[in-house]
Amino acid sequence: MPYKHYILICSGTACESSRSREIHDHFMKEIKDHQLENDVQVVKTGCFGFCEQGPIVKVLPDNAFYVRLKPEDVREIIEENIIKGRMVKRLLYNPKDDKGRHPMTDVANIDFYQKQFRIVLRNCGVIDPEKIDEYIARDGYKALEKVLFEMTPDQVIEEVTKSGLRGRGGAGFPTGMKWSFTKKAPSDIKYIVCNADEGDPGAYMDRSTLEGDPHSILEAMTIAGYAVNANKGFIYIRAEYPLAIERLNIAIAQARDYGLLGENLLGSSFSFDIEIRLGAGAFVCGEETALLASLEGERGMPRPRPPFPAVKGLWGKPTVINNVETWANIPVIILRGAAWFAKIGTEKSKGTKVFALTGKINNSGLIEVPMGTTLREIIFDIGGGIKDGKQFKAAQTGGPSGGVIPAQFLDTPIDYDNLIAIGSMMGSGGMIVMDEDDCIVDITKFYLQFSVDESCGKCAPCRIGGYQLLHLLEKITNGNGSMDHLDKLSRISQAMQKASLCGLGQTASNPVLSTMKYFTEEYTEHIQNHKCRAHKCSHLLKFDILIEKCIKCGLCAKACPVGAISGDREKGYLIDHTKCIKCGLCFERCKFKAITRG
Partner 1 sequence: METIKNLELTPGLLDYIAQWKDKPGNLIMILHKAQEEYGFIPRNVAFKLAEVLDVPLAKIYGVITFYHYFKLEKRGKNIIAVCMGTACYLKGGEDIIKELETILGVGLNDMTPDGKFSVEAVRCLGCCGLAPVMSINGTVYGKLLKSQLPEILSKY
Query: Which residues are at the interface with partner 1 (CB under 8 A)?
Result: 13-14, 16-18, 51-52, 54, 198-204, 207, 239-242, 277-283, 294-300, 315, 356, 358-360, 364-366, 396, 399, 430, 432, 434, 438, 443, 446-447, 456
- Closer to partner 1 at the Cβ: 365 or 461? 365
Nearer to partner 1, 53 or 81 (CB): 53
Report the nearest approach of partner 1 to the CB of residue 347 (Å). Answer: 31
Instruction: Report the candidate in 141, 137, 47, 126 with the shortest Cα–Cα distance to residue 332.
Output: 141
Residue with smaller CB distance to partner 1, 210 or 556: 210
SS (H, E, C) 454-467: HCCCCCHHHHHHHH
Least separation in angstroms between residue 278's CB and partner 1 is 5
In one-letter notation, the amino acid at residue 580 is C
Nearer to partner 1, 251 or 434 (CB): 434
- C-beta of 323 vs 358, nearer to partner 1: 358
Q: Report the phi/psi class of residue 440: left, alpha or beta, with left for phi > 0 and alpha for psi in -120 to 50.
A: alpha
Least distance CB 36 / partner 1 (angstroms): 31
Collect contacts of 19-22 with beta carbons under 8 A, ≥24 apart.
19/55, 19/70, 19/71, 20/54, 20/55, 22/71
Q: Is the dihedral of CA 297, 298, 300, 306 positive or negative?
A: negative
In terms of phi and psi (left: phi > 0; alpha: psi -120 to 50; beta: otherwise), the region of 162 is: alpha
- CB 519 to partner 1: min, Å: 16
Kindly report the backbone phi and psi dihedral angles of residue 319, in degrees, each rounded to the nearest multiple of 5, phi listed first.
-140, 130
Q: Which helix (H) or strand (E) holds 548?
A: none
Minimum CB separation of residue 361 from partner 1 in Å reads: 10
Pick the closer one to partner 1 by CB: 154 or 298.
298
Task: Name which of 309 and 351 has its Cβ closer to partner 1.
Answer: 309
Give the shortest CB-429-to-partner 1 separation in angstroms. 11
Pairing, β 430-435 against β 352-359: parallel
- Kindly tell me which of 184 and 299 has the beta carbon lying closer to partner 1: 299
Concatenate the DSSP letters of all residues of 256-269 into one string.
HHTTSSBSSGGGSS
Q: What minimum distance in Å lies between the beta carbon of 296 and partner 1?
A: 4
Judged by beta carbon, residue 267 or residue 297, the one nearer partner 1 is 297
According to DSSP H, which parts of 455-519 are helical?
460-477, 484-499, 503-508, 510-518
Closest CA to 8 of 155, 127, 161: 127
- Contact partners, residue 64, CB within 8 Å, separation at least 6: 58, 81, 87, 88, 92, 105
- Of the pair 77, 361, the CB lying nearest partner 1 is at 361
Spatial CA neighbour of 87 closest among 114, 58, 50, 109: 58
Task: In angstroms, give the least distance from the CB of 400 to partner 1.
Answer: 8
CB closer to partner 1, 261 vs 292? 292
Per-residue burial over 354-371, b = 16 or more CB atoms within 10 Å of its CB, e = otherwise: bbbbbbbbbbbbbbbbbb
Nearest CB to partner 1, comparing residues 147 and 456? 456
- Alpha carbons 156 and 33: distance in angstroms, whole number: 52
CB of 445 to partner 1, least distance (A): 11
Distance CA 68, CA 52 (A): 9
CA–CA gap between residue 561 and residue 167 (Å, rounded): 52
Neighbours of 390 (CB within 10 A): 14
Q: What are phi and psi of 365, to 5 degrees?
A: 165, -165
Least CB distance to partner 1 at residue 336 (A): 30
Q: From the CB of 295, what's the least distance to partner 1, in Å? A: 6
**Is 28 exposed, middle or buried, given 0-12, 13-18 or 19+ CB atoms closer than 10 A?**
middle
In the complex, least distance from residue 437 CB atom to partner 1, rounded to whole angstroms? 9
Under the phi-then-psi rule, with left for phi > 0, alpha for psi from -120 to 50, and beta for the rest, what region is 385? left
Q: Are 425 and 398 in contact (CB under 8 A)?
A: yes
Closest CB 504 distance from partner 1, rounded Å: 14
Residue 17 vs 38, nearer CB to partner 1: 17
